[in-house]
Structure 1
Amino acid sequence: MPPRTLPTPAAQRTVPVDLIRPGAQQARRHFDPAALSELTESVRESGVVQPVVVRQLADGYELLAGERRWRAAQAAGLHDIPAVVRNDLSDDEAFVLGLVENLQRESLSPMETAHGLRRLADLHQLTHEDVGHRIGKSREYVSNFLRLLALTPSVQQAVDRGELSTGHAKALAGVSAADQAGWLANCRAQRWSVRQLEREIARHRRGTPVAPSSSPKSADWLRMERSLADHLGTVAEVAMSNDGRGEIRIRFHSLEALDGVLEKIGVQLD
């Protein structure tokens, strides 16, 4: 029997559903059962309209994009599914393809989006603006989601469950990890809007020894914080009291991220 040849890049074919396995690098990890059930009924009636994207393996195919469609096809009892075969992609390119498709479909949870963007930035040492160019989004879009990585696990779970909006989450990302649980409890109990939460946090900060004045930060201060965040690849805050003293707060979400920050500011540990 002659050896099988690989298809040309972007070749479309029909692939057995049971030969496909989810890609380990995909950003999406959670699937709404009700929405998946609706899609399953649609697939059962009309089939899979848009092909999934896969790479060929020695014993099957790795799913790069379209896991919800593949799961629905399984649940509907289909034996085959249309697929675009992309054997021309590296691991990094495959990850970016899956991330972009999910972002375009708005199918990722806020924290899945944040972790996906962080991984993309770390893979290629990209600034927030560079990440935005890669995925077709603005720098502000990228920065706002990456700020969510400063949240504690309990607050991240509340965001993913829809108990907090991303606006609430961005406000909570600006307070210390030790204080976030308390702010979350107050926000739930009082049913604060995003603006109310921001006002309460600002009022609390005005009572601390090192804090900005009662007036909002100037455009120059905000530009400085954005530049620091872009350079370091993480959230950075500058706070100064009226007597000229202050501090710079740099957030990190793992020891690996801390190593990256230290490297960017020229600190070498023996």
Structure 2
Amino acid sequence: MATYAIGDVQGCFESLLKLLEKCRFDPAGDRLWLVGDLVNRGPRSLDTLRFVRDLGPAAVTVLGNHDLYLLMVAAGSGRRSKGDTLDEILNAPDCADLLDWLRHRLLCHREGEFCMVHAGLLPQWTVARARALAAEVEAALTGPAHQDFLANLWGSEPAAWHEDLQGWPRLRVIVNAMTRMRFCSPAGVMEFKTKGELADAPPGQLPWFEVPGRLSSADVLVIGHWSALGLRIEPNLLALDSGCFWGRHLTAVRLDDRALFQVDCSTCQEGV
């Protein structure tokens, strides 16, 4: 049995199938870890959702910002972005079932030495603490008040974690760190405007994984989200968003031995 961690698919379904073929993925014995952003921008988000859902326990998926955006839009809470590719999902006969399945995905998954999250963890969180905080969000997203949660999710404030945060601001900080963060200050104040390469870091900001003393550094963080960062393989970091939608590559890493698999995605935007 092998476990393959895969970067952001974003509706590039054909690229996903080619990558799984290259990995010789066998759903009867192997497992997939998907770092989030299954949907949006690419041409076949509906097929991607259906396929991953139908893999059942063979696939572990954490929520990305585009997945949450889909849930917000479907709930009437998110402002539509120009160029999104969600209508096929929203108009599908099984839309309600797919959204219900998506709402029940994890925000953060921990297993052995690995922790998978879409964007990152704030420097003052251990992996155990992050997993407990993720559970708070997951309870809100799957509970009877999930429509209220989605209505209050949008926004970038507060930009830092404080233990005394309560209610929607508390959950919003957790979500923003785990699904949107790239740069933050050494004190963990997040900056959301900059989306470029490491050299583009704003004054006083660092890539979250380079903050000195980060409490999650003893674990291996498996992430996506940051296409400008590209593939980055380090002892305690597997950054797997290698820009599939942008015509670069879709990447898988076999966690058992860190073997690398990639497919070309130069045709992903065709049909968008």
Both structures adopt the same fold (TM-score exceeding 0.5): no
TM-score (norm 2): 0.29
**Greater relative CO, 1 or 2 (CA 8 Å, sep 6+):** 2
Q: Which has the higher helix share?
A: 1
